[in-house]
Amino acid sequence: MSKLDGKIAIVTGAGRGIGRAIALKLAVEGADVVINDLDPEPLSETADAVRATGSKAHVVAGDVTAPDFGERLVAEALQAFGGIDIIVNNAGYIWNTTIQKNTDEQWYAMLDVHATAPFRVLRAASNYFRDVAKREGQPKCRKVVNISSMAGVTGAATMAAYSAGKAAVIGLTKTLSKEWGRYNVTVNCVAFGPIETRLTQDVGDGSKSIEIKGHDLKVGLDPGTRGMMKMLTPLGRPGTPEEAAGAVYLFCIPESDYVSGEVLLCAGGLLA
């Protein structure tokens, strides 16, 4: 048997990159997965990949920052699969600039997607976790893994809003680990360092961007920055999405049932 056989997992931001890798890792290990993304096309591709592993996939497309999204996501998971064992709050993006150029819109966008959206998802799940714990008497261990960043742990130049949002989710993690211990729910956080995604791709001589809610947001790193990051990282390279997913997986398996309220830095030893 695989370690997650019979488990039901929710993964937000699962259309691409790290989120897709997390969904596939959990599926390969036996979990059926409720997946979300803002973009329906890559989300559909992830769903097909999950089903190819032999696990089931239920798609919930939409914007995690919508006020009603958390309630809708949890309701659809319960309707589709009848329970929830794992929640991974992964959805996010970057919108960086120096503070003097940082608009209120940018500030709230980063807090909304990285802190408010996970808060709403977990608030929506709280009644289920409480009620199922009462029904089970001695509840089985359920898992929450929130995604942060090295920027949320140490701060980073030009990332005031992003760093604040990623730091906020660490506070949410530690608080809920205290509130939900009574339900046998562990709440942990993985903070990523340099991982190879479209957000950290080599831009070479030109700029690249992603479109989010009508905004073209510059992403990627220039070769000099990428080279410096590799030099400072003891492992000498950025991580892969699959390695990032592996760090999340550690908090989802039975071996971590007595680990809660922790922040794991997945950064190749960058802060060792």
Active site residues: 162
3-state secondary structure of 195: strand
User: Residue 219: beta bridge partners?
Assistant: 208
DSSP tag of 205: T
Q: Residue 68 class from Cβ within 10 Å (0-12 exposed, 13-18 middle, 19+ buried)? A: exposed
Contacts of 124 (CB under 8 A, 6+ apart): 70, 71, 73, 74, 75
How far is the C-alpha of 257 from the C-alpha of 52, rounded, in Å? Answer: 29
How far is the C-alpha of 89 from the C-alpha of 9, rounded, in Å? Answer: 11
Strand order in the sheet with 86-89: 57-61, 32-37, 8-11, 86-89, 142-149, 185-192, 263-266
Closest CA to 77 of 147, 30, 124: 124
Which amino acid is residue 77, in one-letter code?
Answer: A
CA end-to-end distance (rounded Å), the chain: 35
